[in-house]
């Protein structure tokens, strides 16, 4: 079953002679539980596409359908609520709050939505990610790989249907990068979540179920 569908998607910036077409008539479907890698050169439109799927930005034209909902028709408040409850984000820069412990960073999305923490589920996640002994640590006292694992745990804590990972290994060495991708693959299968990952690393992309290549705002495969 398709959980993500984009149809005839355009994203344009500027106007007339200054107009830039970041996404050019993209149509793409992604199945529930699929791990998809999106690759392309810098400026190809891959991050713009991820932002459309995640509801962080609105398309100029076309549809973005997530779990049967046309999120391009939502207003800003509706998109924010939908993101919080259905999509987990993992970024290259981790985006952890420096004065909060790993545990506090992980549960932040639940607190934002007024939800209680399922401690058993949290313990399962941190056990899988290998950060159980880091829950009381501040980000500055963790390695890059450990911080990214905390960011993955934060993305998973709300049990989202979709994980969007934008260059999640960009700041990591090759060993840590491989570990993070394997962890994303493992959690994807264990919790039947869909993972859409942007990467510039062809070797890491090969670990995905499917590779989508974007060039000049157009899907080439």
Q: Looking at 15-160, which runs of residues are DSSP E strands? A: 20-31, 35-39, 61-66, 69-70, 87-91
141-180 pLDDT per residue, tens: 999 999 999 999 999 999 999 999 999 888 888 888 898 8
Q: How far apart are the first and last CA of the chain?
A: 20
Q: Looking at 32-96, which runs of residues are DSSP E strands? A: 35-39, 61-66, 69-70, 87-91
Q: How confident is the model at residue 135 (pLDDT cuts 50, 70, 90)?
A: very high
Q: Which pLDDT score, from 0 to 100, does residue 46 have?
A: 93
Q: Which pLDDT score, from 0 to 100, does residue 48 have?
A: 95
8-49 pLDDT per residue, tens: 999 999 888 889 999 999 999 999 999 999 999 888 999 999
Q: Which pLDDT score, from 0 to 100, does residue 38 have?
A: 96
Q: Which pLDDT score, from 0 to 100, does residue 221 have?
A: 66
With tokens 């994807």, the residue in question is 188
**Token pair of 15, please?**
């106007």
Q: Which pLDDT score, from 0 to 100, does residue 190 have?
A: 86
Q: Which CATH number is associated with domain 36-57+76-213?
A: 3.40.50.300
Q: Which pLDDT score, from 0 to 100, does residue 94 have?
A: 87
74-115 pLDDT per residue, tens: 999 999 989 988 999 998 888 999 999 999 999 999 998 889
Q: Is the pLDDT of residue 138 over 90?
A: yes
Q: Which pLDDT score, from 0 to 100, does residue 186 have?
A: 87
* Helix H or strand E encompassing 196: strand 194-198
Share of the chain above pLDDT 90, in %: 73
> What number is the average pLDDT over the span 180-186?
87
């Amino acid at each position: 079953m398709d959980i993500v569908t984009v149809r005839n998607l355009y994203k344009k910036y500027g106007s007339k002679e200054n107009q830039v077409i970041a996404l050019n008539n993209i149509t793409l479907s992604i199945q529930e539980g699929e791990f998809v890698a999106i690759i392309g050169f810098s400026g190809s439109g891959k991050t713009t596409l991820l932002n459309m799927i995640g509801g962080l930005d609105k398309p100029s034209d076309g549809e973005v359908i997530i779990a049967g909902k046309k999120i391009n028709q939502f207003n800003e408040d509706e998109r924010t609520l939908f993101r919080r409850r259905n999509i987990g984000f993992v970024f290259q820069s981790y985006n952890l709050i420096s004065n909060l412990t790993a545990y506090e960073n992980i549960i932040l999305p639940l607190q934002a939505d007024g939800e209680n923490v399922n401690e058993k589920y949290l313990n399962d996640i941190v056990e899988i990610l290998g950060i159980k002994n880091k829950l009381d640590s501040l980000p500055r006292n963790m390695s890059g790989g450990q911080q990214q694992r905390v960011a993955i745990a934060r993305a998973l804590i709300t049990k989202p249907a979709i994980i969007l990972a934008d260059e999640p290994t960009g700041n990591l060495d090759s060993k840590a990068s491989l570990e993070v991708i394997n962890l994303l693959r493992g959690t994807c299968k264990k919790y039947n979540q869909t993972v859409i990952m942007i990467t510039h690393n062809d070797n890491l992309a090969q670990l995905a179920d499917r590779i989508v290549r974007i060039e000049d705002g157009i899907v080439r495969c």
